[in-house]
Structure 1
Amino acid sequence: MNEFLESIPPQILDKSVNIDLEIKSSNCLEAVKDALEKTVLSGGKRLRPMLTYLMADFFNAHDKNDVTICARAIEMVHAASLAHDDVIDNATQRRGNPSINVEASNKKAVLAGDYLLADVILSLSQIGSVKILQTMSQVIQELAIGEWIQSDALESRIYSKEVIEKIAFHKTASVMGWCCWSGAYVGLEDEEIANKAARFGHLIGIAFQMIDDTLDFSDGESLKDAHLDLEANLVNSVIYDYLDKNPLKMDAYQKGEDLKDIVELDQVHPNVENIKSEANALIEEANDILHEIRTSLLERGFNEERLSETIKPLELIGGFILNRKS
């Protein structure tokens, strides 16, 4: 993990951590701005802006103002999804503080999230690229679809490996894919290579979600509260692997029993390891794609020494994801 952080150029780390998320519009009510800044715009790892900057740096474009607009936009979309999720999940806390629906109300939390999405489209329009606006609109669609699929599965209790993967793709990987796509596209405006960069982001995004699921069962080892998904009766990738390998437990769940009464925590370790192994395989596939992109850039005359330097944090981000504690 330290190796990844040390590989990030200081200027990119500074830009990512200190990215300006202040709402600039004079039309924004002070109450909306205050609610957002106290909750979903406060704190966080800023991994998504960092990923955008790192991919742009790989394409020798991190200094372009358009990259900063994209990095800010994707963090705003992430924040909007958190605002909406807090309402859907009836949350009470976010990062140790009152969640936005508690700070304001459910109705105001939804409106604040909508405001953020509008702010994103407005800010991206400054770039003047219809393609960038189209792809961001698709990401917002993906987030809504992911939440819908998850809600349907939660209500019906009908899960499959495909459903679990779809939820991870729509809710997490679509965002990280856009981070990488936008960094590449602003740098080169080559759709084929930008789509490869997006695929890199999709793979590490799914791996990110898988590791997040494992943290729900890492008592004492994680900075994340344990068993939140179990308490919410939410089937994540680890729980699905457990149920899939224990048909009687799956049958009990589908007949209406609560997960917390079904899942025996002392038996989950093999399932956690299975999911970690799957995440590791995705990271390896992502790095293969990254090196395909590097070959393409060399063929286009990019400086080999600089590529060798700027690829390092992108190669190491997989290890950071696999070993994260929160």
Structure 2
Amino acid sequence: MIKFHKFGLFTEDFVNLHSVMTDIHTIRRALAPDLESINSLIADRLSSTNPLINEVIGRYLSHKGKQLRPMMVVLTARLLGAAVTDRVIASAASIEMLHNASLIHDDVIDQSSTRHNSPTINAMWDNHIAVLVGDYFVSSALQLVISTADLRAIETIASLGRLLSTGEMDQIHNAANNSISEESYFEIITHKTASLFVACVEMGAYAADADSRKLDIMRRFALLFGQCFQIKDDIFDYFHSDSLGKPTGNDLREGKVTLPLIHALGHTDYPGCRDAASLLARGSLNDDEIASLIRYAIEAGGIDYAESTLLRLRDKAAETLAQLGPDADTTPLLTLLDYIIARDR
């Protein structure tokens, strides 16, 4: 069992934490040839006769993220009995391109200047360039998935774009109307985060010609996986980006209220709850006010609640995957699940 420090950082069970990190590195090494093929295909499909597009995209692709989504496509295909064919590579590449399009557009919406410790496209160039490049990623993803000649895969990519946009719009609407509830929070993270992971397993399952029962199991697993991923990301925002210290509070600066504070505000009898709710309702928070809200969320048990929710969803995801039966080698996907919970960034 993974254990948490009450402030969201690991301090116990280092043997298990080390094991998780060792296992994920093993999986990455095993998938290295596949990821190289995926990245080469992405670079090829994004190549343009326009020198500015090539310059912007070339710089963007030089700073790769965790690549969890293409890994999930490949691992799902393998789990369900498929070889890693050109179809699997194309499916994974199209998902990764659409994911990157959403990140590029998110950086514009959030006015972010850095991602993965590197300047964003909108920071290095401007919003116009970033939006156009994001659109270029979207159209390239659609072109690529069409090459699979699988209408289900094409439908997955087309629907995914709508879900991601809906999740972002829901978040903007809720922030503008001070609508904060656990139900609305989970609806948002299901649309804007979990939907991508569901799309990943769908692409892998389609490549394996999985039956409807296995497809349903994989979808339910991926939904829980995505929710775990986002809750962990949201917990990070309550702490210094490098170590314990001054919280970052970027979500609150952008008007986003996440699970720890939502839960803490539900403790109406807890000292300071009314003040915290009033502060939040005002909007346009300064750094001191953001720090005050984060302190309240921690003291009122918001982080503890988010972590317990995270682990409960993790166990439910593992139980769901077990429904594939004892002969299914689910270890790689379970390792990926434990990694997103154990990660420190």
TM-score of the aligned structures, taking structure 1 as reference length: 0.88
Within a 5 Å distance, the mapping from 1:3-18 to structure 2 comes to 3-5=22-24, 8=27, 10-16=29-35
- 1:229 Cα offset (Å): 1.8
Is 1:115 matched up with 2:136? yes
How many Å separate the matches in 1 of 2:124 and 2:25? 37
One-letter amino acid of the counterpart of residue 281, structure 1: R
- Decide which of 45, 66, 71 is 2:92's aligned counterpart: 71
Partner of 2:277: 250
One-letter amino acid of the counterpart of residue 119, structure 2: P
One-letter amino acid of the counterpart of residue 212, structure 2: E
Partner of 1:300: none
Partner of 1:226: 248
Partner of 1:19: 38
Is 1:54 matched up with 2:75? yes
Cα separation, partners in 2 of 1:312 and 1:261, compared to 1, 3 Å: closer
Is 1:128 matched up with 2:155? no
How many Å separate the matches in 2 of 1:164 and 1:217? 17
How many Å separate the matches in 1 of 2:144 and 2:106? 23
How many Å separate the matches in 2 of 1:158 and 1:115? 34
Runs (4 or more) in structure 1 with deviation over 4 Å come to: 25-28
Within a 5 Å distance, the mapping from 1:78-227 to structure 2 comes to 78-219=99-240, 220-221=242-243, 226-227=248-249
- Decide which of 254, 261, 265 is 1:239's aligned counterpart: 261
How many Å separate the matches in 2 of 1:267 and 1:120? 40
Kindly report the root-mean-square deviation, in angstroms, between the aligned alpha carbons of the 2 structures: 2.5
How big is each residue's C-alpha offset from its partner over 1:64-123, in whole Å with a ceiling of 9 and x where there is no partner? Answer: 211111111111111100110111111112222221112222112111111111111111
Cα separation, partners in 2 of 1:159 and 1:185, compared to 1, 3 Å: same
- 1:176 Cα offset (Å): 0.7
| Contact 2:228–2:340 (8 Å) recurs in 1 | yes
Cα separation, partners in 2 of 1:283 and 1:7, compared to 1, 3 Å: farther
Is 1:281 matched up with 2:312? yes
Partner of 2:302: 271
Cα separation, partners in 2 of 1:41 and 1:323, compared to 1, 3 Å: same
| Contact 1:253–1:262 (8 Å) recurs in 2 | no
Partner of 1:313: 332
* 3-state SS of paired residue (1:127): coil
How many Å separate the matches in 2 of 1:311 and 1:70? 21
One-letter amino acid of the counterpart of residue 175, structure 1: L
Cα separation, partners in 2 of 1:325 and 1:197, compared to 1, 3 Å: same
- 1:151 Cα offset (Å): 0.8
Greater Cα offset, 267-276 or 12-21: 12-21
Partner of 1:33: 54
- 1:255 Cα offset (Å): 4.0
| Contact 1:244–1:250 (8 Å) recurs in 2 | no
Is 1:322 matched up with 2:341? yes
| Contact 2:202–2:219 (8 Å) recurs in 1 | yes
TM-score of the aligned structures, taking structure 2 as reference length: 0.83
How many Å separate the matches in 2 of 1:26 and 1:255? 46
Cα separation, partners in 2 of 1:17 and 1:166, compared to 1, 3 Å: farther
- 1:42 Cα offset (Å): 2.4
How many Å separate the matches in 1 of 2:181 and 2:341? 24
- 1:17 Cα offset (Å): 6.2
How many Å separate the matches in 1 of 2:332 and 2:129? 39
Cα separation, partners in 2 of 1:40 and 1:99, compared to 1, 3 Å: farther
| Contact 2:318–2:334 (8 Å) recurs in 1 | yes
Greater Cα offset, 77-86 or 12-21: 12-21
How many Å separate the matches in 1 of 2:49 and 2:194? 30
How many Å separate the matches in 2 of 1:148 and 1:30? 33
| Contact 2:91–2:145 (8 Å) recurs in 1 | yes
Partner of 1:298: none
One-letter amino acid of the counterpart of residue 198, structure 1: R
- 1:182 Cα offset (Å): 1.2
Unaligned stretches of 5+ residues in structure 2: 1-19
How many Å separate the matches in 1 of 2:128 and 2:284? 32
